[in-house]
Structure formats: C-alpha cells, structure tokens
Structure 1
C-alpha cells in the first residue's frame, strides 16, 4: 500500500464513521489498497487526473463510499462508464452480498480493473469491456448507476435495455440537473433526489433516482 495512504487510514476510517458507514478493518485495507493500485497504474494507464494521495482519498474514495447507503435496496448494480472503477469497486468492497458489473469501453481501464478484482479477491464483481449499446443482460440490473458518465437522457437512452423490471437508475451529479430532468422522456419519472455532503469537500453531491413509468 502507498505509504501516504497507510498513514491516512485512521483519518479515512474516522470519516467513514462520520458518514455512518460501517467499514471493517479488512474493508478499509481493501479500499486503500485499491486506491493505491489506482494511483500506481495511473502513471502508465492514465486512469485519473488526480495524483495526490490525500486528494484522491477524498475526491475518489470517500466520494464513492458515500454512495453505499444509496444502493441498500438493490441486489445487483451496473456501473456504466466505470473508468478506473469508481464508484463500482469501493461499493463492491462495502457490499459483498450484492453483485456488481463494471462496464467501460477503454481496454486499458478494464485490464486494470480485472487485475484489481483478482488482487483483492472480489467475487462479486464482473468487468466488461464493451460499448453500453452493445452490452446485453438476460436478467437486467436492479440499479444502473453512473458517476459523471453522461446526461440523464443519454444514460437512460443507452441503458434502457439493461434495466430489470422495477429497477432504477441512480445518477451522481455535482449540481442539481434541473434541465436534464426536464429533457427526460415522458416514459420516465423522477423517483427521488438526495443531497449528500462529502467530508472535507466544498461541494455537494446529488443522487438522482429515475425509473420507467409502468
């Protein structure tokens, strides 16, 4: 593990506790080992623009961990445009009883993700290197989530065929996407929007839940 991250582990654990998110010692190690690998592979694979470990701890790891309570009702999740595995990998570590599929078109990024999944022993993660429009699922997903992937309209249009009956989309946005919501198809409805504060970040996150109108 990156030595800076090792030193930051008590701080990370404390921030998770403030968020009301239970993290075991093993999960804490896995989360920081994942971030350490992300920063290490980043030098060759260009996985993130953030290179400072402490900055990455808050902007990447805690910004993903904070999503965990938002998916408690879903048993299967598709992380679309996962990139370096955010938020999919942290969520899979915190929710070992849920199934996660991480989808991205960039083969370098999915190669990194497969290595991380192997190294961390994550049995509940499947990594897929495909365009979302070309990806198929027989059963569909209870939750399709994205973090800075696309507009709400594009996200729902491109993944319509992947949502299970009764499932929901969950989009994470930095600002409330009022215009994007107004541009949604009439066959969709806004179920809920939640405002979440990430510790030590001067920013608000909005969780937008959408579903098909039955």
Structure 2
C-alpha cells in the first residue's frame, strides 16, 4: 500500500534529508518512510486531533528530527535486537521514528488514549515495521511478559515520576532514556534511591533553536 505524501510535506524532503544526514543517518533512505509517517499523521489529525503541530516544516523538525536526535542512544541495543518501551508515546514519538531508523529494535509504545493507539497501529501496519507494537494501557498497569532493556519518554513527566511509572518495566541493569529541554537539576535531586543519572548528553537537533538533553538514568548497585 502506497501512502500518498501531500506536496506541502514532500517539499520538506531536502531539509529532512539534510537533518538526518547531520545526525549521522542515511537521509536518502529514511526520508520516504518518515514523510509517509507524517502524511498519515496529517490525514488522521483531521479527525483524531493527534498533534497541534501541523505545519509541514515544523513537523519535520519538531516531530521527526527531534525524535531522531536520540537515535545513537539505542543504536547498540538495536544491533543486539534489544527492546525499549516508549512511555506515553502519543502519536508514536519517538517510538515510530526509532522503529523506522532501526527496524530490528523491538519498540513497544504505551499509550492510554485509544485514538492514538489506533493511529500508531495503522502507521506500524502501513510502514511495515516488524518489531514495533502499540499497547492501549496505562504505563503503571502494564505487565509485559518480557522486561525491557530501556524505557524512554519525550515531554511526558519529571524524572522521578518516570521512574515511579515505568521502573517495573526494566530488566535488571536497564535504563531510562529521558529527553529533556534543559538540565533538570531539581528532578535529579529528587530521584529515589538507588536511581541516579549516569550520563547527561547534549543533543543537537538540526534546525531547532532550542536546547535538548538526553538523560540516562539507572539504578546504582552497591
């Protein structure tokens, strides 16, 4: 099934390719499925109100490139066929973007809004993402058969709240990969023991004039 890309979105192919290349990705290969994803989002948004960001260039930058900026943090996991859970995935950000970049990565997107889950499932089906799935569930109530190597979240909650909601989903030694706009000193200070930030990386999102950080949070041993 071919997903038709509106001309206004198609016109953003060059900045998308450029941005993906800047992030060390293959923009020529990835631009088509990522534009198809945005086209689906626009189509569904007319009825389901998935996102307030609907201007094509902003969608490319604030949805796709912003999500793709964290790809290096899951690259090794993907190479090992590892797994992540995207908490409060919304319309699939960053989960679907990461699934397009790394089809071998097992990505489970957790979302309590049924309409967003239906959209994600349709996007997964039409984009042919073999190891992506969307679950209609509250994060704290989800009990997977197999625990995850990492959990991630984008603009969902504070670091302590993310640990409270999702720590039970992690394998021993698993990590929270949290995208933040600024250094969250107060959130870090309030992390429950034995959780602590083990890495703080500044992310550069192409064409975005705003700060982004990736905080890796793990339980200390000993």
1:179 — aligned with what? 186
CA contact (8 A) 1:39 1:53 kept: no
How many residue pairs were aligned? Answer: 213
Q: Confirm or deny that 1:89 pairs with 2:96.
A: yes
Q: What's the TM-score, normalizing by structure 1? A: 0.96
- Distance in structure 2 (CA, Å) of the matches to 1:165 and 1:136: 15
Q: Which of 33, 37, 40 is the matching residue for 1:34?
A: 37
Q: Confirm or deny that 1:76 pairs with 2:83.
A: yes
Q: Which of 143, 159, 171 is the matching residue for 1:152?
A: 159
- Distance in structure 2 (CA, Å) of the matches to 1:78 and 1:96: 15
Which residues of 2 match residues 130-209 of structure 1 at below 5 A?
Answer: 130-209=137-216
CA contact (8 A) 1:23 1:94 kept: no
Q: Which of 98, 108, 120 is the matching residue for 2:127?
A: 120
Q: What's the TM-score, normalizing by structure 2? A: 0.93
- Distance in structure 2 (CA, Å) of the matches to 1:54 and 1:11: 8
Offset, 1:23? 3.8
Structure 1 SS opposite 2:11: helix
Q: Give the alignment's Cα RMSD to 1 decimal.
A: 1.1
Any gaps of 5 or more consecutive residues in structure 1? Answer: none
- Distance in structure 1 (CA, Å) of the matches to 2:167 and 2:175: 10
- Distance in structure 2 (CA, Å) of the matches to 1:114 and 1:205: 28
Q: Deviations over 1:144-199 (max 9, x none)?
A: 00000111111001112100111100000111111000000121121100001211
Q: Deviations over 1:99-131 (max 9, x none)?
A: 000100000000011111111111110110000
Any gaps of 5 or more consecutive residues in structure 2? Answer: none
CA contact (8 A) 2:173 2:218 kept: yes
Q: Which of 20, 24, 27 is the matching residue for 1:20?
A: 24
- Distance in structure 2 (CA, Å) of the matches to 1:43 and 1:175: 32
Structure 2 SS opposite 1:102: strand
